[in-house]
Structure 1
Amino acid sequence: EGSGGLRRCRDSPGVLQIPSLFSAPQGRRYSAPPQPVIAAKQPFPVELKAGKKYAWCACGHSKNQPFCDGAHRKAAPGISPLRFIPEEDKTVWLCGCKRTRSPPYCDGTH
């Protein structure tokens, strides 16, 4: 065995084997990060108030869409809500599909 986990090939002594970067060590299993569920296939029109704290549901499990009700703690512990405070009163479209690239606002991804 060479340094850094490299091994010499049995069939070709002049060739080093490089361990796969994608194989998990024995006994370990890796999984993808949790993915949100689609709460709605359309955005939610919401009137936001300046200075008020909001928590947008990022996991999709909340029964209070588009806002967080804490359901992520059991249903999707790896996903946290997006907390924000608007600077002005305004009506916005908050994402319902949870696939937006500009959270919490809808970008038309759905």
Structure 2
Amino acid sequence: MAEPVIADTKPVVTTLEAGDYYWCTCGQSANQPFCDGGHKGTDFTPMKFTLETQKQVALCACKGTANPPFCDGAHTKL
């Protein structure tokens, strides 16, 4: 499988409302960290995640996290 593009070397910290979201796994989305279909024609697919309540999150942008879609500090080892 191909390696994802590193979209950024720091997480995207934001507050999200309750609901479903699609995290970009390929790193090619222009709407990081969310999928915009940039993976079309690749082996990548977006990862759906659901928040039950409004929450502040740190979403991985380096695509190296072991806890997707959330940042685990993997960007510090790039």
TM-score, L = length of structure 1: 0.66
The offset of 1:91, in angstroms, is: 0.5
* Bigger strand fraction: 2
Q: CA RMSD in A?
A: 0.8
State the identity as a percent. Answer: 49
Please tell me whether residue 109 in structure 1 is matched to residue 74 in structure 2: yes
Structure 1 CA distance for aligned equivalents of residues 4 and 46 of structure 2: 11
State the structure with bigger RCO (CA 8 A, min sep 6), 1 or 2: 2
The offset of 1:53, in angstroms, is: 1.4
Structure 1 CA distance for aligned equivalents of residues 22 and 65 of structure 2: 16
Q: Aligned to 2:9, which of 30, 33, 41?
A: 41
Structure 1 unmatched runs, 5+ = 1-32
Structure 2 unmatched runs, 5+ = none
Look up the equivalent residue of 2:44 and give its one-letter code: I
Structure 1 CA distance for aligned equivalents of residues 4 and 49 of structure 2: 19
Please tell me whether residue 85 in structure 1 is matched to residue 37 in structure 2: no
Aligned length: 75
Residue of structure 2 in register with 1:4 after alignment: none
Structure 1 CA distance for aligned equivalents of residues 4 and 48 of structure 2: 16
* Cα deviation code 1:11-53 (max 9, x no counterpart): xxxxxxxxxxxxxxxxxxxxxx111010000000121111x21
Residue of structure 1 in register with 2:37 after alignment: 70
